[in-house]
Chain A
Amino acid sequence: MEWVDEGIVLSARPHGETAAIAEVFTRAHGRHLGLVHGGRSRKLRPVLQIGNHVEVGWKGRMPEDLGSMTVELRRGFAAEAMARASDLAALTSVSTLAHLLPEHDPHPGLYEISLFVLSFLEEAEVWPALMVRWELALLDELGFGLDLSTCAATGTSENLIYVSPKSGRAVSAAAGEPYSDRLLHLPAFLIGKTNGPVTPTDVTAGFKLTGHFLKTRVLDPRDQIMPDARQRMVALVCASG
């Protein structure tokens, strides 16, 4: 069987002296591996950089085979991000966290958001908030989406400023007041209730929120730790704020 798709390069490991095993997050075929002949050549090494948007061709006898893969560059996000440490950390964070997705399982929605985030990496004021949304989308795709529409205690959709660390549901200011020290802060931009620009404080709160659920619901059960790239990205964003 064979298919043609588009994707984002997640990793490329040397295989033998000339080939590489590439892992690509494709739009219609999910996270997919393939052997790229000549993947270590001067021509293909720049294409197979983490985070690059590529055109992918895959051919194999069975869907679960490694198969052979061809790649062609659509947009070199890696080269665009190399100048700034935080941009590069965000690009690496997207690529690393996307490994949490199951193989061969399409997530076209998350794929679109990923491309969107990567296309804004050069705009340092914009991408951190997008990245928080991307992590929320990742949680959603992994089956651990947060319910931020109504208060878990009262059902109201007004004045939601907390999230329960246990249920992942929003909590209103009034209902959460007695437990405010144990609740996570819900930044207004995540529920579309902000008039001005997203502040660094909001972004920090957003990363704390998504970080908590990534850790407790996704990484801990798999006996994994938060990727260095994600920790570094958050540290750089918080430091610049």
Chain B
Amino acid sequence: MSRKAAGPEIERLIQILARLPGLGSRSARKAALSLIKRRNDLLLPLTEALNVAAERIVTCDLCGNIDTISPCTICEDERRDRSMIVVVEDVGDLWALERAGVVNARYHVLGGQLSPLDGIGPDQLNIPRLIERARPPEVVEVLLALNATVEGQSTAHYLREQLAPSGVKVSVLQQGVPVGGELDYLDEGTLAAAIKARRSL
């Protein structure tokens, strides 16, 4: 018989924390204990931050990003290149590109990728809004920054066909050797893609 070391409120906190990615039950117990011990400088500010987030976070009507305003901060940013839309699968991908700081355009979050096995078709994705947005002369290029997986590339091909009538330029990310990658450790698929996409120096 398992014995409980804490009351139901604390157990519930641990159970919820354990559902977060990266945390198992043991890590959740540590996190809960840390929060409880640091009530004033961690637990209460976290509670407040979570409450505010739960109340104010919305999905951007334009691009599907998450923010506390709609249109989101990125869509409203006048300094961004409005002639380009970067299409990503998920908000996590948008954040990754923003962290890298390599593109200064607006985004469009699909909310998933085509997956026949999971029954995810075009109707389940944020595609109609993209077709509406990607119209010349304001938009000149749509960059499909999607995963180099079968589902990601199937989605990219589908979007290319859907965007073709609009006349915008459609581009995709290059595939090949990652920075710092050693050929010896690369999988055959990546090597094949890198060879196919070779360029003259």
Contact = CB atoms under 8 A, between A and B. Distances in A.
A82 interface: yes
A99 B116 CA distance: 12
Contacts of B184: none
Interface string A45-73: 11101111000000000000000000001
B196 interface: yes
B68 interface: no
Contacts of B157: 84-85, 88-89
A92 B121 contact: no
Interface string B136-161: 00000000000011110110011011
Contacts, number: 68
Contacts of A96: 116-117
A51 B189 CA distance: 12
A59 to B, nearest CB: 24
Contacts of B190: 46, 79
B44 interface: no
Report which residue of A51, A80, A82 has the largest number of chain B beta carbons within 10 angstroms of its beta carbon: A82
B89 to A, nearest CB: 14
Contacts of A172: none
Contacts of A232: 158
Interface in A68-101: 73, 75-76, 78-85, 88-89, 91-92, 95-96, 99
B187 A92 contact: no
Contacts of A76: 187-189, 192
A109 interface: no
B33 interface: no
B8 interface: no
Specify the main secondary structure of chain B where it touches its partner. helix
A82 B150 contact: yes
B4 to A, nearest CB: 25
Interface in B62-102: none
B22 interface: yes
Nearest to A231: B116
A186 B184 CA distance: 50
B150 A89 contact: no
Interface in B146-201: 148-151, 153-154, 157-158, 160-161, 175, 187-190, 192-193, 196
Given A50-B150, A229-B116, 4 more contacts: A46-B189, A76-B188, A76-B192, A82-B150
30 contacts: A17-B21, A17-B22, A43-B187, A46-B189, A47-B187, A49-B150, A73-B188, A75-B188, A76-B187, A76-B188, A76-B192, A78-B150, A79-B188, A79-B190, A80-B189, A84-B157, A85-B154, A85-B158, A85-B160, A88-B153, A89-B154, A92-B116, A92-B154, A95-B117, A96-B116, A228-B114, A228-B116, A228-B121, A229-B116, A229-B154
Interface of A: 11, 17, 43, 45-47, 49-52, 73, 75-76, 78-85, 88-89, 91-92, 95-96, 99, 227-229, 232
Interface of B: 21-22, 114, 116-117, 121, 148-151, 153-154, 157-158, 160-161, 175, 187-190, 192-193, 196
